[in-house]
Amino acid sequence: MKHLVAPSLLSADFSNLRPDIEMVNQSQADWFHLDIMDGTFVPNISFGLPVVKAIKKYAAMPLDVHLMIVQPERYIMEFKEAGANILSVHYEACTHLHRTLHTIRQQGMKAGIVLNPHTSVILLDDIISEADLVLIMSVNPGYGGQQFIENTYGKIGRLKELVLRKNPDCLIEVDGGVTLDNARMLLEAGADVLVAGNTIFAAADPIATILRLKNLS
């Protein structure tokens, strides 16, 4: 499978989102990556359900929603109704992760597990079979434009071994500090989906940058 590219709208112009949505629509991107932050699980607050709904009206690709919120199980139905196609929850935020993933799938969405930089992939051994994707955070979640954490390459490699052994259909997504310089190595380590915010939206030509991220392999 050719890898996927998911631009993160966290780095878009929040005072005028529509042109950035249209830019992504016209690009080779595969998904819209939407970062939901509650000011408790992470120190920042981003945007919520009404903005997801508004983005859904114009987005031509699936919405990949990354919940950085405590007790995300409270909002599964609401994000489905707002238009999420993929809903990812943090391992660190879920007391009953198995049940939460099942509920997401019951609602007709793909279910993802997100790991913070300090959370080992070893902990996924008994839950990986229930996930459609695992998102590896390569920065501490909460902000765009942060420095990539180098340990991520090895972590993706260890996750790839687990995926091949227990759930070969499970996608590996990487999020945080992804650039044109490290993207190829992330794909070689085993990543299937590249999230990029700053690299795309701070570029002089975002559409060309998305194309370059797509054409790495």
The catalytic residue positions are 35, 175
Residue 174 phi, psi dihedral angles, 5° rounding:
-125, 140
The interface mask with ligand DX5, positions 76-115, x = CB under 6 A, is ----------------------------------------
| 20 scored as a contact of Zn ion (CB under 5 A) | no
Q: 144 contacts which partner out of ligand DX5, Zn ion, none, CB within 5 to 8 A by kind?
A: ligand DX5
Q: Report if residue 66 touches Zn ion, rule: CB under 5 A.
A: yes
- Sequence-separated (6 or more) residues with CB below 8 Å from residue 63: 31, 32, 34, 52, 55, 56, 83, 84, 85, 86
Count other Cβ atoms within 10 Å, centred on residue 80: 18
Enter the tokens of residue 48: 């919520």
Judging by beta carbons within 10 Å of its beta carbon (0-12, 13-18, 19+), is residue 46 exposed, middle or buried?
buried
Is residue 111 within 8 A of residue 105, CB to CB? The reply is yes
> Which position among 20, 30, 35, 173 is part of the footprint of Zn ion (CB under 5 A)?
35
Tell me the number of residues near ligand DX5 by CB under 6 A: 21
Task: Give me the residue whose beta carbon is nearest to Zn ion.
Answer: 66
Stretch that binds Zn ion, among 29-37, 48-56, 85-93, 203-211 (CB under 5 A): 29-37
Binding partner of 152, given ligand DX5, Zn ion, none, CB within 5-8 angstroms per partner class: none
Q: Does 11 bind ligand DX5 (CB under 6 A)?
A: yes
Is residue 141 part of the contact set for ligand DX5 (CB under 6 A)? yes
Strand 32-37: give its sheet, edge to edge. Answer: 4-7, 193-196, 171-175, 133-137, 110-115, 86-90, 63-68, 32-37
Cα dihedral 85, 88, 137, 61, rounded to 10, equals 0
C-alpha–C-alpha distance, residues 6 and 60, integer Å? 13
Residues 174-203 that bind ligand DX5 (CB under 6 A): 175-178, 195-199
Q: Please, what is the minimum distance in Å from the beta carbon of residue 64 to Zn ion?
A: 8
Binding residues (CB under 5 A) for Zn ion: these are 35, 66, 175
Binding residues (CB under 6 A) for ligand DX5: these are 8, 10-11, 33, 35, 66, 139, 141-142, 144-146, 175-178, 195-199
